Structures are given as C-alpha cells and as structure tokens.
C-alpha cells in the first residue's frame, strides 16, 4: 500500500493519499487537483480547522464523500469545536456523508478511535501493511497531541496511546511533521513513555 504525502510546510496539517482516499484536508485544493479523478472519500482524522479547512472545496472538486468520527462531526459546522477562530476563519460548514465508529473499515484501513486530542480523533491502521496514519494522536518525534483544547483529555489520550503501543507499526504517518517508513512503533512507545512520565 503506497501512501503519498502532501506536505504544506507550515501550520496546516499533512494530508495523505492512499488509493482512492484523501486523509485530511488542510492542504490547498491545487495540491490535490492532480489526484481528483482518484479520490472518492475524504477521511478526516478529527475536526480541527488545520485538518479540515479546505474540505468543502476539495470534496466538490473531487466529487468525494466526507467521513469523520461521529463525535467530531459537529466540529465541521461549529466554530468553537473546530478552533477555526484561531485561524481567523469560520468552520467548513459541511455535513459529513459518513460517520465512523471504532472498528469500521475504510479503504483497507481499520478505524481506531483515539480520543484525547479531540473526542472523535481517529487513527487508520493497516495490519497487513503495518501502516498507521495517526492524525494528531502521536507524532514521529515521540510526542503526542495537545489535550488542552475543548473536548481534550489527558487521561483519554494516554489510554489511546496505550491502545496503539502494541500494534505492529512500521510506517507512521502523523498529522504534523515528517512520516517514517520504519520502526513507527518506537515513536509510539516514546510518546506513551512521555505522557506516563507526567510531561505536558
């Protein structure tokens, strides 16, 4: 399974294209345009504006369905939950076509509900390919997402990291920073150790 990384190089989140799926939609539509005939579904790892800012435009361009965990669906129309005001903007104002729950399957990935950063954060895991697209739950520098935004929870985030730690992850593709293609599980273990130490 090939994961194509669309990096913004600034405060906006990474996006990834895997098969007919675009993961997260903070990138400019022009970055997605070369793939528009492929993309059938836009999967949002959570509702924060840096991951969702251009979802409406990209969904229209690609004629794609929008999918998000049920607990974060409101953030697509709620400025407070989406944190859009932090960016001097309004929430995307779009309703999802698909709402996930834990264990759902999309494009060969299992949806893992990993609350803590937001109530509806998800990761996408391919056991076969040992790939984890982790949104803002865990990063490749051994850090974890913030939990001090509305709906965040340190205790839930620690439990989410504990759930991810046993997975056989090689490729780790986070919402910010550079992805890695080997030893992703080590970065997850480092983040779990960090949060257990009381950091943050």
pTM of the prediction? Answer: 0.97
Q: Running DSSP on this structure, what letter comes out for residue 33?
A: G
Mean pLDDT value of segment 141-170: 96
DSSP letter string, 78-97:
-HHHHTGGGGTS-------S
Over the stretch 168-190, which tens digit does the pLDDT of each residue have? 999 999 999 999 999 999 999 99
Domain count, the chain: 1
In terms of residue numbers, what domain contains 133?
4-196
Distance, in Å, from the CA atom of 171 to the CA atom of 186, rounded to the nearest integer, reads 11
Q: Which pLDDT score, from 0 to 100, does residue 8 have? A: 73
Q: Which pLDDT score, from 0 to 100, does residue 1 have? A: 87
CATH code, 15: 3.60.15.10
Residues in the chain: 200
Distance, in Å, from the CA atom of 107 to the CA atom of 140, rounded to the nearest integer, reads 23
| DSSP H or E run through 60 | helix 55-62
Distance, in Å, from the CA atom of 182 to the CA atom of 113, rounded to the nearest integer, reads 23
């Amino acid at each position: 399974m090939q994961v194509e990384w669309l990096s913004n190089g600034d405060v906006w989140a990474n996006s990834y294209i895997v098969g007919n799926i675009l993961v997260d939609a903070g990138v400019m539509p022009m970055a997605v345009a070369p793939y528009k005939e492929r993309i059938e579904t836009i999967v949002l790892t959570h509702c924060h504006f840096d991951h969702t800012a251009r979802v409406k435009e990209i969904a229209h361009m690609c004629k794609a369905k929008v999918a998000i965990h049920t607990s974060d669906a409101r953030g697509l129309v709620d400025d407070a939950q989406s944190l859009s005001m932090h960016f001097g903007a309004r929430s995307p104002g779009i309703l999802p076509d698909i709402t996930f729950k834990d264990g759902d399957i999309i494009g060969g990935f299992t949806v893992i509900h990993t609350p803590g950063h937001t109530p509806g954060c998800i990761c996408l895991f391919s056991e076969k390919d040992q790939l984890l697209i982790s949104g803002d739950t865990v990063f490749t520098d051994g850090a974890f997402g913030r939990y001090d935004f509305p709906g965040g929870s340190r205790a839930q985030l620690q439990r989410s990291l504990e759930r991810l730690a046993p997975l056989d992850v090689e490729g780790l593709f986070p919402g910010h920073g550079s992805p890695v293609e080997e030893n992703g599980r080590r970065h997850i273990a480092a983040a779990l150790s960090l949060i257990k130490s009381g950091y943050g």
